[in-house]
Amino acid sequence: MPTPPESDDAVAPTASGDSDETLLDRVRENDEGALRTLIRRHEKKMYAVALSMTRNPFDAEDAVGAALLELWRKRDAVRVVDGSVVPWLIKVTTFAAKNQLRGQRRYAHLLARLPRPNDVADHAEEVARNVDRSTLTHDLEAVIRSASATDASVILLCLVEEMTPSAAAEALGLSPSTVSTRLSRAKKRLRAALAHHDPQLAEDLG
């Protein structure tokens, strides 16, 4: 977790009931307690987003760590939408997870080029294949993973967090028309992925 510089000034205790906006103001004043409160409040959601994209707990933790570092480094530029920093955190977590995925692909490419004298089954991979995951969830995650970082953020903010396109646009620093276009494109891909599992859900996406 990023740790702000220590200050000689006394730091007031941070109330867990403070709003995100109040906590962020205190983070900008180098209040370590406020930073820890924000992290505790939202890290589970950030981890869930990262894990859905990387499908690897270690990579998900790295992505969350990178996103939290961005929270500290760019604290003066963090956008608060409807009193919450969650949209901004989801955006940076999505971008961090995409970076982890690129690293996974580079590593897999490197392994593929190495000689393999014996094809011994990997026990961990066998266990992973047998994990009880619904095909529906798998397809949803596949669409998010294959989307660009910005499109993935739009999907998560509008379809998971149920934000309006205008609110998502504010969080992402895009125009509402751009978000609407990207959302329409994402819905089309989701409908195609879901149609053979849950036609009604696919139709509800509109």
pLDDT level of residue 187 (50, 70, 90 thresholds)? confident
Boundary of a domain, candidates 81, 115, 149: 115
Sign of CA dihedral 14, 18, 22, 25: positive
pLDDT beyond 80 at 35: yes
Domain around 66? 17-115
**What percent of the chain clears pLDDT 90, i.e. is strictly above it?**
31
Q: pLDDT by residue (tens digit) across 95-139?
A: 998 887 765 554 444 445 444 444 444 444 444 444 334 555 666
Answer whether residue 25 is part of any domain: yes
Is 188 a domain residue? yes
Q: How many domains does the chain have?
A: 2
pLDDT of 145: 78
How many of the other CB atoms lie within 10 Å of CB of 93?
31
Does residue 26 sit in the same domain as residue 109? yes
pTM of structure: 0.59
| Same domain (yes/no): 29, 101 | yes
Q: Are residues 106 and 27 in the same domain?
A: yes
Domain end, chosen from 115, 149, 166, is at 115
- 115, 145, 177 - which closes a domain: 115
Q: Based on the domain organization, do 100 and 167 belong to the same domain? A: no
At 147, give phi and psi (nearest 5°).
Answer: -75, 160
Choose among 41, 19, 39, 45: nearest CA to 161. Answer: 45
166 three-class SS: helix
- Structure tokens given for 79: 């956008």
What is the domain-level CATH number for residue 72?
1.10.1740.10
H-run or E-run covering 51: helix 32-54
197 and 137 in a single domain? The answer is yes
- Looking up tokens 């955190």 gives 89
Q: Do 40 and 75 sit in the same domain of this protein?
A: yes
Average pLDDT over residues 73-101: 91
